[in-house]
Amino acid sequence: MANGRRRRKLHLSKIYTFKCVKPSVDEDDQSQIGGPGFSRVVYCNDPDSLEIHRYANNYVKTTKYTPATFIPKALFEQFRRVANFFFLLSGILAFTPLAPYSSTSAIVPLVFVIGVSMVKEGIEDWRRKQQDIEVNNRKVKVHRGNGVFEYMQWRHLRVGDLVKVEKDEFFPADIILLSSSYEDAICYVETMNLDGETNLKLKQALEATSSLSEDSSFADFKAIVRCEDPNANLYSFVGTMDIESQYPLSPQQLLLRDSKLRNTDYVYGVVVFTGHDTKVMQNSTDPPSKRSRIERKMDYIIYFMFGMLSLISFIGSIFFGIWTRDDLRNNVMTRWYLRPDNTTVYFDPKRAALAAFLHFLTALMLYSYFIPISLYVSIEIGKLLQTVFINNDIQMYHEESDKPAHARTSNLNEELGQVDTILSDKTGTLTCNSMEFVKCSIAGTAYGRGITDVEMAMARRKGSPIADQHGELDDSDDETPPVKGFNFKDERIAGGKWIYEPHSETIQKFLQLLAVCHTVIPEVDEETGNISYEAESPDEAAFVIAARELGFEFYKRTQTAVYLHELDPISGQKVDRSYKVLNVLEFNSTRKRMSVIVQTEEGKLLLLSKGADSVMFARLAKDGAEFEEETREHVNEYADAGLRTLLLAYRELNEEEYAEFNEKFSQARNSVSVDRETLIDQVAEIVEKDLILLGATAVEDKLQTGVPECIDKLAQAGIKIWVLTGDKMETAINIGYACSLLRQGMKQIIINLETPEIKALEKSGDKDAIAKAHKESVVQQITLGKAQVTSPGGESEAYALIIDGKCLAYALEDDVKISFLALAVSCASVICCRSSPKQKALVTRLVKEGTKKTTLAIGDGANDVGMLQEADIGVGISGAEGMQAVMSSDIAIAQFRFLERLLLVHGHWCYRRISSMICYFFYKNITFGVTVFLYEVFTSFSAEPAYNDWFLSLYNVFFTSLPPIALGVLDQDVSARFCRKFPLLYQEGVQNVLFSWRRIFTWMFNGVYSGVIIFFFCAKALSLSAFNSAGKTVGSEIFGVTMYTGVVIVVNCQMALFVQYFTLVQHIFIWGSIGIWFLFLVIYGAINPDLSTTAYEVFVEAAGPAPRFWVVTLLMLVAALVPYFAYSAVQMRFFPMYHNMIQWIRLEGRSEDPEYAAMVRQRSIRPTTVGFTARAAARKGRASRERQQNGR
C-alpha cells in the first residue's frame, strides 16, 4: 500500500450499508446500463477521448440574457404587456401623416418607460452575470498527466477529468469519489447549498480505488464509468465502474456540485457530469410564475379602457364622416374655412367613409392618453420600494438566528393583504424543530416529570392547578445549567441512580441503544474538549445528548466502531466501551424505523432498532412484549401531551443467522436496478423481527414563541388556518389545543378509518374490497359532517375538521373533493394528519381553485416545497430543516409569529397602496383624456390636439408620475400599532373593498367629472371676451395652457386630499410636480419657436400676466375637488369604513379608552373562529345563555 498508509482492508459494506469490495453483479441488475436513460460513458483520465466532446462543458450560465439577446428578449418581455404594445403601435403610426402630434413626442415617453424597465432588468441580470463569473473562475486541482495536479478554472473542466478537492472547497462538478485522506476512503460533505441541510453527509469510495492515496498514484489510472443520463434526482445514482472488473456505483460515491468538503483534508475523484448536466443545475428550474389578483384585474381595466377608447374613437369617426360628407352639399361649402373643395383625402367630402376610417386611426392615437403609459413601471418601482421596507423591518428581524425578513419577489406584495386561508406545516413552522428529550418509558415504567406546553394547555382546558405544580418544579433546588436538547427531570434515574431501579439491566440496554443506534458524528472542540454532535435530524441529537446526560457518553466514531464512556453499574465508575458497527439499516418514510447491527467487546451480535410504534409493536417477539401494554399506554399519553415518540427494541443474533442476512444484504446493496431500495427493505424485514421491547422515548418539539398570540390575531382578522402535518392525529390535536387552533367546547368532526368494521375487513386482505369500503366510509363521514354543520343551530357553533392521511387520499379524489372542501370551509379550523408532501400540495390546490380566494402556504422543510409553490403566496421559515423551503418561497421569515406583522401591517398597507395607486392612475388619465376628447367634440372631431405635443408626452412621465409612486410606498391609513390592535381591518383586503369594480368606476367617474369641469370652465370663462388688458382674445395655445394647468393642479391637489399620511416626500412630490410644470412652461416657452411651437412665450407673455388665468385656475380647482371633499366628509362622518372608525378613535384620542376600543374591536371577535380571544368570547356567550335560562 502507498507509503504504508493503509493498514488493513475494510469491508465497507459492513459499515454504513454499502458494499465496496468486488461484488458478484447479476447481469439482470445491469440491464439498464447502456439503455434509454443510462447511456453515459465516461473514459476516466483520457483527455484524448472523443466521448468528452459529446457532453456539456462546465461553464454555467444563470443569466436571462446575453449581450446579443438582451435587446430583443428584453423588448419582447416589455411588449408582451398589452398597454406597451398599444403604445408601440401608436408610436409607429406617429411617423405617418395620420398622427395628430409629432413622432418624437410620441416615441420619447415610450422609450423612457421601456428604457427604465430594461435598465432594471439589465441590472438584475448583470448581478447574476457577476455571480456566474465568480463561480466559473474558481479553481480546482486537475490531473495534467504523469501524476501531476495543477490548478484549472472550473469552466475548463471536462467529463473524465481527475480532480483533487481540498478541505472546505466546493465540488466543481458531479464527481465519483475515488479516494480520500482517510485510510478507509471516506469523506464528509456539507450539502447546504443543495437541500439546505446543515448536517454532514458521509460518502465512501469503492475499495477498488481507495488505495489511490497520492498524486502519483494516478499517473497510469484508467477506468470506464457507465451511468445514468443527467437528471434532477439528488438522491439516486445508478452506474458501474470498470477497473479490471466491474463495480456498481451508488449515491454513496457521488459528490455533487456546490456541496462542500468538510472535516476531510482532500479527496480524489473523476468528473461524470459537468455544467448544466449536473444535478444541482438540473434542479434549478424557475419557480412557477405568480401574479397577484390586483395585477390580473388591472389587465381587465386596461382592456375596458381600450374598449372605451375604441368606442369613442368609433363614435367620433362616425360624426366626423357625417360632417365631412356634409361640408360640400350641392356645391355649397358648409365649413368654407376648411376649403372642402380643395382638400386631401383626410377631409375629402367625396370620400367621407375613407376619411372616417383614417380619422378612427388618428383618434386612437390622440385618445391613447386615456391609458397611463407609466402605470406598469411606476407600480414596479413602488413594489420594489415596498420590499425594501419589508426586508428592513426591525420587528421582523430574528436576532438569535440573525435573519431578517426577505421578500424574494415584489410581484405579490398586495396579495399579502388579501389572504383568506393559511395552510401551515406544523414541525418547524408552528414548533421550533429543536427537540428536547422530556420523558421516556423503560420496562413499563414512566420516567420524566417535565410538563410540556401542550400539557399546560390541556390543564387550562380542564381547570387543573397544574400551573402551580409547574411553578413548584421550577423552584426546585436543581441548579444544573440547562442543556440544549435535554429537559429531562427525574431523580430516579438521573445522576446514575438508575442502577438502583428494579429493571436496571433493561435501563442500561435502553441507554446503550440511544448512544449507539444513530448516524451522529461527534466533533470535539480542541480548546475546551467539549463534544458537539452533527446529526441528520434534531431527534437524533436529542437521543445522543440524553444518553450522555444519563451516563452513556458517545465521544468517537470510526467507520468500524462507535466508542462510549459508559457508567458501569457494578463499579459505579465510567468505563470505555466500543461497539463494532457491522451494518446500518437506514430510516426511510416507508420503513419508519432505523436499525444497526453491532458486535460487542464480548463478541455478541446485537440488532438495535428504534422506530414508530405503528411498525415496531408488530415486530416484537412473543416473549419480548413483556411491557407492551404499559408501553402502549405511555406512548398514547405522550402523544396526548404533544410529544414525538419512538419505540426502542433489540434482539441478539447468532453468527449463522447474521452471515445469511449479510450475504443477502450485500447482494441487494450491489444491485444496479431501479428497485434496489425495495430489495434492501425486503432483506431488512428478514432480520428486523422477534424483537425484545425496551421502552419508548418522548421528545418535545416546543411551540415557537408567540404562535398562540399570532394565530389569535390572524383568526380575529378573519383568516382561516389549516394545519397540514405528518404527525399522528393525537399529537396534532394536542398541538392544536396548545396553539389555540382548537379549544374546549369546539365540536370536532374526526374522519378516520378506525371503526371495528373497517379493521375487520382489513384483516381479510381483499385490497379492492378494502379500498371500496374505505372510500364509502370517508364519503359517509363527510356527508354526516356537512349535515352536522348545516343543521339548525349548527351555524352558531365552532367546528374543527380533523382528517388523517389515509382518508385524505380518498377525500381528494375528483368525485369527493368538492364535498370535502364544502365541509372544510364551513369549519373554523382544519387539521390534516399524516399528510404526505404530495397531499399537502393537492390540498393547497383544492383550496386555491375551489374557493377562488387567496391562499398562503407556510413551511420550513423540503417536504413543504410543493405546497409553497402551489399556493398564491409561499412563505418559507428559515429554520432548522435547512433552506430548501426558503429557496422555493416568495417571502422568507425566521419565525411564524412574524406572519402577523407581515400580513396585518405590511399586507394591509401594500394592498391599500397598490389599489389606490392604480385607481388614481386611471383617474388622472381619464381627467386628462376627457379634456382632449371634449376639445375634439368642439372642433368637429378634426383630430386637432388640445395641447402642445410635449405637453401631451410629458403629462404621465413628469408632471403626474411621482406623487402616485410616493402614495404606493409611504401612505398609511392606519398606523402599524392600530393595524394589530384592530385586526378586522385586514378584511378590507380579503373582501377587496378598496379595489372593487364599484370603487374603480367611482374613481373613473371622478375623472370624467373633473375633466368636464376643467374643459367647460375654460371654454366658458375664456371665450367671447378679452383675456388681458390689451384686449386680446384667447387662442388655442392659451386655451390649451390654461386647461393643462388646471389638469395638472387638480390631479395633484386631488392626491393631496387623498393621501392619509403626509411625509416630507409627499409634500415635495405633490407641490414639486406643480412647480415643475410652471418651470417647464417658462423654460420650454423660451426656446426657439421652431421647437416650442405653440408654447413659445405663451406663459410669460400671455397667460402669466393675465389675472383671468389665475382666477379660472382657482375656480377649476375648487369646482373639481369640492364634490370629492364633500363625499369623503359625509362618508367619514355617517358611513365610515372600518379604517375610518379607527381613524376617529385616533383623532378623538380614545385609543387608550379600553371600553371604547373594545367596542370597536368586538366586531372582529367571533365565537365561531379560533384563537384564545374567540375562546373567551365563546365562554362568555355560554355563561350569558346559562344565566338567561336560569332566569326563566
- Residue positions annotated with a catalytic role: 425
> What is the longest distance spanned by two Cα atoms in the chain?
131
Position 624, amino acid: G
Instruction: Report how far residue 421's alpha carbon sits from residue 148's, in angstroms, rounded to the nearest whole number.
Output: 62
Nearest to 290 by CA among 843, 873, 856: 873
3-state secondary structure 414-445: HHHHCEEEEEECCCCCCEEEEEEEEEEEECCE
CA–CA dist 740, 913 (Å, integer): 32
> How far apart are alpha carbons 1102 and 1038 in whole angstroms?
7
* Spatial CA neighbour of 910 closest among 397, 264, 388, 481: 388
Name 139's bridge partners.
Answer: 153
Strands 747-751 and 799-804: parallel
Cα–Cα distance measured from residue 446 to residue 631, given in angstroms and rounded to the nearest whole number: 8
3-state secondary structure of 729: helix
Pairing of strands 854-859, 419-424: parallel
Count, in order, helices (H) and strands (E) of the chain. 39, 35
871 close to 895: Cβ distance less than 8 angstroms:
no
C-alpha 1147 chain-centroid distance: 38
> Which element (helix H / strand E) includes 299?
helix 293-325
Query: Does residue 695 contact residue 624 with C-beta atoms inside 8 Å?
Result: no
Cα Rg of the chain, angstroms: 38
d(CA 430, CA 749): 22
Report the interhelical angle of 466-474 vs 453-462 (nearest 10°): 140
Q: State how far the Cα of 371 lies from the Cα of 87, in Å rounded to an integer.
A: 9
C-alpha torsion sign, points 891, 892, 897, 902: negative
Write out 772-837 in H/E/C secondary structure. Answer: HHHHHHHHHHHHHHHHHHHCCCHHHCCEEEEEEHHHHHHHCCCCCHHHHHHHHHCCCEEEEECCCH
Residue spans of beta strands (DSSP E) within 316-364: 328-329, 332-333
**Contact between 196 and 862 (Cβ < 8 Å):** yes
Among residues 162, 174, 240, 160, which one has the least CA distance to residue 208? 240
> How are beta strands 531-534 and 521-524 bridged, if at all?
antiparallel
Residue given cell 440524553 in the structure block? 546
Please name the residues in contact with 1074: beta carbons below 8 A apart, sequence gap of 6 or more.
1048, 1049, 1052
Q: Which residues contact 438 (CB under 8 A, 6 or more apart)?
A: 448, 450, 452, 487, 488, 643, 698, 699, 700
CB 870, CB 424: distance < 8 Å: no
Sign of CA dihedral 351, 352, 358, 362: positive
Q: What pairing do the DSSP bridges indicate for beta strands 854-859 and 873-877?
A: parallel
Beta 593-599 vs 574-585: how paired, if at all? antiparallel
In angstroms, rounded to a whole number, what is the distance separating the alpha carbons of residues 253 and 172?
16
Of 935, 855, 927, 920, whose CA–CA distance to 100 is shortest?
Answer: 935
